[in-house]
Structure 1
Amino acid sequence: MSSMTAAVVGSGYMGGGIAQMLALSGVPVSLADVTAEIAAANHERLLEEARQFVADGLFPADAVERIRALVTPAASVEDAVAGADFIEEAVPEKIEIKHATLRRISEAARPDAVIGSNTSTIQIGALATAVVGPERFLGVHFSNPAPFIPGVELIPHATTTAEAVDLAESVVRATGKQTARISDSVGFVLNRLQYALFTEASEIVEEGIATAEDVDTIVRTTFGFRLPFFGPFAIADMAGLDVYAFCYESLQTRWPERFATPRSLADHVAAGHLGTKSGAGYLDVPAERTAELVAYRNRAYVAMSKLLDELGPPPLG
């Protein structure tokens, strides 16, 4: 990425973390905010954070020097984006603020510059109405804390070019992140799932079934324990899709609409595609690889248990 230049507009914790990652991948970054003073102050904060991350063994030993050399606070948004190949907008999650910022960015940027938005939930097509040259615009959604969460959603809208998505993906992957290409929809994937879980967890507490602490314990130590290694479809395939169908039927005795059996699940079961035990399911893992998959799963869970023992409990109270 040595020939690439970037700008990050919005120098708070999300924008700052993104700037750190870009710099550590070798990309020069101009950092902008509402004023030059805010950008400069947050630049100093990024360096101080990097010092602490180095001390904690989270960043490479030369991270402070690399970030200082490659991240430059800009006098204005226009100055920051003028020569950039890739621009990431990371301002507050208010559509009017994002519209105003994206308009400034796209008017000042080169016509061929690719522009990403770090929006968490706002549809990219709705943001694109403020962008000059919307075909070079897409969602590039990092998660907090940006330096340490590996997944990034890439969200093109209806007229985003394939070239823009490819360039954004190459920039993101150069930082060591893993990307997923997502269709443009409110909440995308991450927050649609995250808020669905939070809604159900809140219901359980409000019904008096469990305390917030006990819900968190169950999530951490059961299905949440699997999630660093397997997504929901892999977990379902390993459990057995027929088992999932039976569980849906049980849940429907109280919540027939809320836990209606997904059509895709019913279709798989009707076709005899029951997951890894049948050699076909959502992910079509061949039956002959089931033993290998189970062995990996068991090693992963034991390794996770050891890691959690080493880290100790989080300081939540």
Structure 2
Amino acid sequence: MHAIPELVGVVGGGRMGAGIAHVFLVAGCDVVVREADSGSAQAAVARIERSIRTAIERGTVTEESETVSSRLRVVTEFDGLADRDLVIEAVPESIELKADVLSAVEKSVGPACVLATNTSSLSIDTLAGALDAPHRFLGLHFFNPVPTSELIEIVNGSGTDPELSAEAVSWAIGLGKQAVSVRDSPGFATSRLGVAIALEAMRMLEEGVASAADIDTAMKLGYQHPVGPLALTDIVGLDVRLDIARHLAGALGPRFEPPGILRDLVAQGHTGRKSGRGFYEYEPKEL
């Protein structure tokens, strides 16, 4: 049995944060989610409980929903994380916001608490610069949807304790997931490859090479991708992909410059499944 921290904190109860809370709750952990205000806290609870009920209906969770939810608490102050063994930051992809959150968490927890970020592309070393103890900090990049995704990308900063990195691999296994370990670099491994494919698919769509459906089908059947790059962008969020592409373009050059079709769709509010439209349109029941 692979030991997982018993007392886990998650900062941010949006889609990713709720999913992270879900997997630790199902693994038997006591989970505290910190949200900015009472309204966001109530929404986070509803999101997590809905996710747990769905898992029970699908037969992937055998406990009663009330039993799993009894291990969840949502707070609006960082002090509510004081007794945690592990705290994972899952706020939006802003380096300033994440650095501020991590600094506030570090001031609120004990010296043995591990701090992690769920960033998909931002520099671990840059974020570590906001901390007094970078040796206990690393990236735990979960994937959407977290409950059913099989992967956790462990990102090691230059100051990350190697023993902590090895321990994190054990946590991933304990959560029923596979871990890959990478060093801190722009986009890590997954975002860099995934965004490169998605951006090229968008350029092909712009150029009229093929329809979105045919581009996605080509990747699914030709390369055994479970989801095509454009449909996956709708799941991830076009706004999220746009932010990552801009970050990678600044770090790695113009090959990651976001295409006009992506910029235009985001400007129009078409951010994918969550808005009802991205590269595809979705019925409300599918959201």
Q: Fold-level match, TM-score > 0.5? A: yes
Residue 265 of structure 1 aligns with which residue?
none
* 1:2, distance to aligned residue in structure 2 (A): 7.5
* 1:130 shift after superposition: 1.0
Aligned to 1:117: 117
| Structure 1: distance between partners of 2:216 and 2:140 | 29
What displacement does 1:226 show?
8.2
1: CA distance, partners of 2:183 / 2:35: 29
SS at match of 1:176: coil
- 1:32 aligned partner, one-letter code: R
Letter in 2 for 1:149: S
Aligned-partner Cα distance in 2 for 1:41–1:67: 17
User: 1:59-70 to 2 correspondence within 5 Å?
Assistant: 59-70=60-71
- For residue 128 of structure 1, what is the aligned residue in structure 2? 128
Which residue does 1:279 correspond to in 2? Answer: none
1:264-303 alignment, distance < 5 Å = none
Q: Partner letter of residue 210 of structure 1?
A: A
Give me the whole-angstrom Cα distance separating, in 1, the residues matched to 2:19 and 2:175: 11
Q: Aligned ranges for residues 1-317 of structure 1 at < 5 Å?
A: 1=3, 4-55=6-57, 57-79=58-80, 81-225=81-225
Aligned partners of 1:216 and 1:116: how far apart in 2? 33
Residues 54 and 60, structure 1, Cα contact 8 Å, conserved in 2:
yes
Structure 1 counterpart of 2:258: none
Secondary structure of 2:184 counterpart? coil
Could you tell me how far apart the structure 1 residues matched to 2:31 and 2:282 are? 35
Q: Counterpart of 1:50 in structure 2: which amino acid?
A: I
Q: Which has the larger radius of gyration?
A: 1
8 Å CA contact retained: 1:50, 1:59: no
Distance in 1 between the 2:147 and 2:200 partners? Answer: 29
Residue identity in the other structure for 1:78? D
Gaps of 5+ in 1: 228-257, 259-313
Deviation of 1:32 (Å): 0.6
Q: Which runs of 5+ in 2 are unaligned?
A: 228-254, 256-279
Aligned letter for 1:108?
S
Q: When the two structures are superposed, what TM-score results if normalisation uses the length of structure 2?
A: 0.74
Contact 2:12 2:35 in 1 (8 A): yes
Deviation per residue, 1:95-115 (Å, 9 max, x gap)? 111011011001111111111
2:130 and 2:5 mapped to 1: Cα distance?
29
Q: 1:138 to 1:63 in 2, by over 3 A?
A: farther
Distance in 2 between residues matched to 1:134 and 1:110, nearest whole Å: 14
Q: Is the CA contact (8 Å cut-off) linking 1:114 and 1:167 kept in structure 2?
A: no
- 1:8-36 Cα shifts (integer Å, max 9, x gaps): 11111111111110011111111111124
- 1:3, CA displacement in angstroms? 6.7
Q: Deviations over 1:30-74 (max 9, x none)?
A: 11111244224311331123223322x153232513321211112
Q: Report the AA paired with residue 20 of structure 1.
A: H
| C-alpha distance in structure 2 between counterparts of 1:93 and 1:60, whole Å | 30
Identity of aligned residues (%): 31
Q: Considering only aligned residues, what root-mean-square deviation do their CA atoms show, in Å?
A: 2.3
Q: Does the 8 Å contact 2:22/2:51 carry over to 1?
A: no
TM-aligned CA deviation for residue 157 of structure 1: 0.5
Alignment partners' CA distance in 1, 2:96 and 2:5: 34
One-letter amino acid of the structure 1 residue matched with residue 116 of structure 2: G
The answer to whether the 8 A contact 2:10-2:21 is kept is: yes
TM-score, normalization by structure 1: 0.67
How much does 1:84 deviate? 0.8
Please say if residues 153 and 181 of structure 2, whose CA atoms lie closer than 8 Å, have aligned partners that are also in contact: yes
Q: Does the C-alpha gap of structure 1 residues 205 and 315 become closer, same or farther in structure 2, counting only changes over 3 Å?
A: closer
